[in-house]
């Protein structure tokens, strides 16, 4: 992926819609403005042409007598009088021989509108000519050129009105478009919020609300169905993970935490100085468990191990944690102990739990003693040292029992 493109902030859906609307409205309104301006100019040209022809026709009647009596002075006065009213820029009267009879022109220095002059030349490239008739015979001709300032005034006024109307229509169109887009943006925002929450927080319980637009509604329904499947899959996966974790950290026979859980617990204990200061470790090992297995079978032996675990849990209650390390080896972590003498009393009390015979569920009972060795956590600097001391003390107790029996 292009890094420059990736670092560029992406526009939102709302901003993109607004940009598309603005571009569409601007292009459309500009095109309409150009068409209306062109139509206005063409209409103005036709109107001005007709108006100039009408002015020429009226003036031809006024100049008829001047041509008949060959009074050029009166003709010039008539042209000047009408020209000063601003109806035309140049007026020229020709006689029957196409010779100039009278002429009037406005002062060019009064015109400062260069653009208006160019527009006037484009609209009226040639003067408007009207014949002067006397008794049905043409005795001359009058030629009129339109006034630049008058044309410019109408053109600029038309452009200003059109521009104002177009701007107002554009504002109205953008406002209406924005209002119409609001529902679409809201539905898209609803969908993106749900998608983001699911991705960021794994919140598969979120659902897209029902939409009013068919495509968004269908998308929301499909996405909700997918979320239903994902939520069900997540629950199954969590249950499976919990089961796997329990299997990995618990002994399947007795239900006690296993050796892996024991190692994790001891490591955490030795890294916690406050817990280490009042904790101890007990190792328990069966003294005659092999005899039970060999005499009554493994099923009976498993029953005894289950009962041992049950008595340990009952003794430890919620204060101490019991573990099965394997075979007939068990461990118990004591919490809230503060002296070696207190630990010795707990070991003695725990040994009493195993004096009661074990029911083999075959009409027989068996006795099983367990050798218990302990190690004080606050006296050992490492996990290995703690385990080694507890194991050594447990075997000391076991050896002493063996010598006593012998």
Kindly list the catalytic residues.
328
User: Closest Cα to residue 177, out of 27, 12, 29, 20?
Assistant: 20
In angstroms, what is the C-alpha Rg of the chain? 55
Whether the Cβ atoms of residue 55 and residue 87 lie closer than 8 Å to each other: yes
- How far apart (Å, rounded) are the C-alpha atoms in residues 244 and 130? 109
Contacts of 111 (CB under 8 A, 6+ apart): 117, 148, 149
Neighbouring CB atoms inside 10 A of 350's CB total 21
* Three-state secondary structure call for residue 366: strand
- Per the structure block, which two tokens stand in for 280? 């101890």
- How far apart (Å, rounded) are the C-alpha atoms in residues 118 and 212? 57
- How far apart (Å, rounded) are the C-alpha atoms in residues 308 and 387? 21
* Backbone dihedral angles phi then psi of residue 336, each to the nearest 5 degrees: 75, 25
Q: Helix 72-83 to helix 13-68 angle, to the nearest 10 degrees?
A: 160
What does 226-273 look like in DSSP terms, one character per residue? Answer: HHHHHHHHHHHHHHHHHHHHHHHHB-TTT-SB-HHHHHHHHHHHHH-H
**Torsion sign across C-alpha atoms 392, 394, 398, 403:** positive
Whether the Cβ atoms of residue 130 and residue 59 lie closer than 8 Å to each other: yes
- Per the structure block, which two tokens stand in for 94? 């020709």
């Amino acid at each position: 992926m292009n890094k420059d493109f990736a670092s560029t902030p992406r526009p939102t859906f709302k901003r993109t819609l607004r940009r598309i609307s603005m571009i569409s409205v601007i292009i459309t309104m500009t095109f309409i403005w150009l068409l209306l301006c062109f139509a206005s100019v063409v209409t103005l040209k036709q109107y001005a042409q007709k108006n100039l022809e009408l002015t020429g026709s009226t003036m031809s009647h006024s100049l008829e007598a001047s041509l008949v009596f060959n009074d050029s002075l009166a003709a010039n006065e008539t042209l000047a009088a009408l020209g000063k009213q601003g109806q035309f820029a140049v007026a020229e009267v020709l006689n029957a021989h196409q010779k100039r009879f009278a002429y009037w022109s406005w002062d060019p220095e009064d015109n400062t509108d260069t653009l208006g002059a160019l527009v006037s030349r484009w609209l009226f490239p040639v003067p408007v000519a009207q014949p002067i008739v006397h008794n049905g015979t043409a005795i001359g001709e009058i030629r009129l050129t339109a006034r630049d300032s008058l044309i410019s005034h109408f053109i600029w006024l038309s452009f200003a009105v059109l521009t104002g109307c177009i701007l107002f229509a554009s504002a109205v169109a953008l406002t209406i478009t924005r209002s119409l887009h609001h529902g679409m943006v809201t539905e898209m925002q609803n969908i993106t919020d749900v998608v983001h929450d699911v991705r960021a927080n794994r919140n598969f319980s979120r659902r897209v609300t029902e939409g009013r637009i068919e495509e968004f509604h269908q998308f929301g329904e499909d996405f909700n169905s997918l979320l239903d499947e994902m939520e069900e899959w997540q629950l199954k996966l969590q249950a499976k993970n919990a089961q796997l974790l329990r299997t990995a950290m618990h002994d399947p026979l007795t239900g006690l935490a296993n050796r892996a859980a024991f190692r994790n617990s001891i490591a955490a204990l030795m890294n916690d100085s406050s817990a280490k200061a009042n904790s101890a470790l007990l190792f328990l090992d069966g003294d005659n468990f092999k005899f039970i297995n060999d005499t009554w079978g493994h099923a009976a032996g498993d029953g005894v191990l289950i009962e041992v675990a049950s008595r340990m849990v009952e003794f430890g209650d919620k204060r101490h944690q019991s573990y099965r390390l394997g075979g007939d080896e068990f461990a118990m972590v004591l919490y809230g102990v503060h002296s070696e003498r207190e630990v010795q009393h707990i070991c003695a009390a725990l040994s009493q739990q195993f004096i009661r015979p074990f029911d083999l569920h075959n009409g027989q009972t068996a006795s099983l003693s367990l050798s218990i060795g302990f190690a004080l956590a606050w006296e050992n600097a490492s996990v290995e040292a703690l385990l080694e001391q507890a194991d050594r003390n447990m075997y000391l107790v076991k050896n002493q029992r063996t010598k006593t029996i012998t």
